[in-house]
Amino acid sequence: MARITAGVTTSHVPAIAATIDGKKQDLPYWKPIFEGFRFSRQWMKEHKPDVAILIYNDHASAFDATIFPTFAIGCADEFLPADEGWGRRPVPKVIGHPDMACHIAQRLILDEFDMTVVNKMDVDHGLTVPLNLLFGELGPDEEWPCKVIPFPINVVQYPPPTGLRCYKLGQALRRAIESYPEDLKVVVFGTGGMSHQLQGTRAGLINKEWDTKFLDGLTKDPVALTKKPHIEYVREAGSEGIELVMWLAMRGALNDDVKEVYRFYHVPCSNTALGHIILENV
């Protein structure tokens, strides 16, 4: 059967995409950020997953206010990088795993999660930046080293799902993956966050203490994190801090006991706090 071996979280800051595409990684501002992922890229190269299930939020590239599903899954053969206003990113197209994705969709729906099955969509920086950070800076004629199943969660249009609902979704995702008959090694990504606010009088908000406690809880006590209400994310981590519920979906897909392999936290990254952690099942 397929098995989840590890979970990865990382911010998906759009300025990282612009930095990579403009080949500015060695600038003094950006170099410490990319150095912080050096270990992670080597770990991923050695870990060699067959499939990455990448939980992210779409930024009005595939969906807009006319339709914004709470939970969606990409079941197509491939997904092109989105044009977010300055052309498609010069990165490889994403090769999906439609058989596994359709299996997961069916199992989640029968497990009482109302999934939106998406058979055609473009994927934006929410998905491609994490791939860059963990797999490297590949060009459009190259290939990502594993198949990728896009898994968008709505944290843009109110109301977003609760942390508890996302954690339970992750648990159901684990059951779905483990029922897939092919012997595949799966890594689950949770992306977005950490503390940041992009507008209003609190624009630029960073809360390192709250972020650090969240990272600690992700490893040691994720159930406690599921009890946080929406208002705490907004108050403590800014209006965009709600993206962290997607990290709980990743954590729910892992075992109760995990090993923290690596952690990286950096401020500032654009006007956000960048967080990253690797957890392996034990």
Domain locations in the chain as residue ranges: 3-191+246-281
- Could you give phi then psi for residue 214, rounded to 5 degrees? -65, -45
Tell me, what's the pLDDT at 93? 98
Tell me, what's the pLDDT at 124? 98
Tell me, what's the pLDDT at 75? 98
CB 189 within 8 A of CB 130: yes
- d(Cα 223, Cα 252) in Å, to the nearest integer? 9
Q: In sequence order, what are the residues at sequence separation of 6 or more whose Cβ sits closer than 8 angstroms to the Cβ of residue 25?
A: 19, 31, 34, 137
Of residues 80, 71, 73, the one with CA closest to residue 124: 80
Render pLDDT for 240-278 as a digit per residue (tens, 0 to 9): 999 999 999 999 999 999 999 999 999 999 999 999 999
Per-residue DSSP letters for 192-218?
--SS---SSTTTT---HHHHHHHHHHH
CB 215 within 8 A of CB 33: no
**Fold of domain 3-191+246-281:** Protocatechuate 4,5-dioxygenase; Chain B (3.40.830)
Tell me, what's the pLDDT at 169? 98
Tell me, what's the pLDDT at 87? 94
CB 29 within 8 A of CB 16: no
Tell me, what's the pLDDT at 274? 98
Helix axes 245-252, 208-220, angle to 10 degrees: 10
If 0-12 CB within 10 Å is exposed, 13-18 middle and 19+ buried, where does residue 50 land? middle
Query: Mind telling me the catalytic residues?
Result: 125, 196
Distances (CA, A) of 271 to 10, 121, 196, 204, 263: 15, 28, 7, 5, 20
Does the model's pTM come out above 0.85? yes
Distances (CA, A) of 276 to 3, 91, 125, 212, 219: 22, 22, 16, 11, 12
Of residues 185, 172, 162, the one with CA closest to residue 50: 185
Successive 10-residue mean pLDDT values, the chain, 282 residues: 98 97 97 98 98 97 94 98 95 98 98 98 98 97 98 96 98 98 98 95 96 98 98 97 98 98 97 97 94
Tell me, what's the pLDDT at 174? 98
Tell me, what's the pLDDT at 177? 98
User: What is the DSSP-derived secondary structure letter of residue 270?
Assistant: T
Tell me, what's the pLDDT at 111? 98
